[in-house]
Amino acid sequence: MQVSVDRIESGIAILIGREDETVRISIPAGSLPAGCREGDILTLALERDEVATAEARARVFKRIGKLRAGSKTPDP
């Protein structure tokens, strides 16, 4: 997906989709490539991180298990 850097204000870069100008993305300006400025065209790529997803799911599953185990304890 290609976007253009519309503007940078207060440390936030506003990106606009090239194919669909209704697509607007706000990101920290520090996340832009070095030397990037208003009017530049960027290519965005998204990828799924399977390892991070599995780790996050495991943490959530563990927390849910602890909550469920705690709820079985009778109130004093």
39-73 pLDDT, tens per residue? Answer: 999 999 999 999 999 999 999 999 999 898 886 65
Domain map (residue ranges) of the chain: 2-71
**Considering the chain, what percentage of its residues have pLDDT values greater than 70?**
92
Q: What is the pLDDT of residue 72?
A: 60
Contacts of residue 39, defined as CB under 8 A and 6 or more positions apart, other chains included, come to: 4, 5
Containing H/E element for 2? Answer: strand 2-9
Q: Is the pLDDT of residue 21 over 80?
A: yes
DSSP 5-54: EEEEETTEEEEEESS-TT-EEEEEGGGSPTT--TT-EEE------HHHHH
On whether the CB atoms of residues 28 and 11 are closer than 8 A, the answer is yes
pTM: 0.69
More confident call, 9 vs 69: 9
Q: What pLDDT was estimated at residue 73?
A: 52
pLDDT (0 to 100) of residue 74: 54
